[in-house]
Structure 1
């Protein structure tokens, strides 16, 4: 039985180490060198060129993690939304320079929202409306570029909220990302459903998965097998969606990549 090929999220220094492993099976690759505003505000042409040189011969699915530090997509402050629009546009500039076809953006939904969003008559529509105001131009540009913006769960407790937001764009350029460790944290610490439920809720809109293990208490980004996530349930849920998401190991310590792959191979879940 065929099992999925697993990729990884790497910054430049990590790509130098794992480049041959990535290219060997043309694994999904997510570059994480461009998340910082200081990088995006600088002349990053040399940094992009260094990535492109390492990726000579790579023909797999290339993406980046977009900017996220210090802001949310649904800020009530219109001047903050101006800044966020600029950061997202800079992320798309990077995609254009590298030939990347996916960019991860963080969900706007918070733990506070879960308990309080319906305290306000326009609570739900405000989140969706402000996010649309922030991303409208980026979504149109992503469509033209052939880039998919994937919305990753962060504090999300109800995975249905993020799907409703993604569907509201009615665009092929907006899909969902599930971060397994974030979902497991939310399950263990804030009463959210288990990780496989997040996958199943995403359904055919699942475009991307961050694979990381955790303990249900914090955002650990451990090697797979070191935490308490039920991986067989997760991969069964991925298969059941019928989607073909990018499967990305996102580990804090990249030295855990071989052990994670050994675990997946041993369990018959990935290669």
Structure 2
């Protein structure tokens, strides 16, 4: 709070503060654990997706997400576009054994654009090479904003593999 003598005004900057942020993390973790238990009861994999660099979103860092997932014994959805937007190289993206689901889209690294594969600057040669070296055999899906970009992306993949 700021008070100025003689100005007749006071000003307060309201914000959520660390307590709210801590509570968000706590409740999110509790929710993830509950969902993980439910998924286990059903005999299915639960995957948590890494998020793009947007203020307020959790799990933007693959290393932090992987540590959390190891702790609560669930799996990762690797969103390649989000990881690229978060500064992870193509070589780093498949360093995690908990990946069970992959989302593919392209962007220029500045924002999560969900563009057709081959239209941004993600190194998909390296992505597919690292995926093969990691012996990844889970789900891979194209996640683009324009339905026409699905065909373009599939044609791009076909030329690469």
TM-score surpassing 0.5?
Answer: yes
Tell me which residue corresponds to 1:249. 142
CA contact (8 A) 1:185 1:218 kept: yes
1:199-235, CA deviations, whole angstroms, 9 ceiling, x for partnerless residues?
22x2x21101110011111111111111111001111
Residue 227 in structure 1 maps to residue 127 in structure 2: no
Q: Aligned-pair distance for 1:135?
A: 2.2
Q: 1:185 aligns with which of 60, 68, 85?
A: 85
Tell me which residue corresponds to 2:8. none
What is the aligned length?
136
Structure 2: where are the runs of 5+ without partners? Answer: 1-19, 54-58
Structure showing greater radius of gyration is 2
Give distance in 1, aligned partners of 2:80 and 2:113: 10
Give distance in 2, aligned partners of 1:143 and 1:213: 33
How is 1:147-186 mapped onto 2 (pairs within 5 angstroms)?
Answer: 147-154=44-51, 155=53, 156=59, 158-170=61-73, 174-186=74-86
CA contact (8 A) 1:195 1:229 kept: yes
Give distance in 2, aligned partners of 1:265 and 1:252: 20
Q: Secondary structure at the match of 2:131?
A: helix
1:40-70, CA deviations, whole angstroms, 9 ceiling, x for partnerless residues?
xxxxxxxxxxxxxxxxxxxxxxxxxxxxxxx
Stretches of 4+ moved more than 6 A in 1? Answer: none
How is 1:19-58 mapped onto 2 (pairs within 5 angstroms)?
Answer: none
CA contact (8 A) 1:75 1:130 kept: no
Residue 198 in structure 1 maps to residue 93 in structure 2: yes
Q: Which structure's residues are more often helix, by fraction?
A: 1
Q: 1:217 aligns with which of 110, 120, 126?
A: 110
Task: Supply the RMSD in Å over aligned alpha carbons.
Answer: 2.1
Tell me which residue corresponds to 2:40. 143
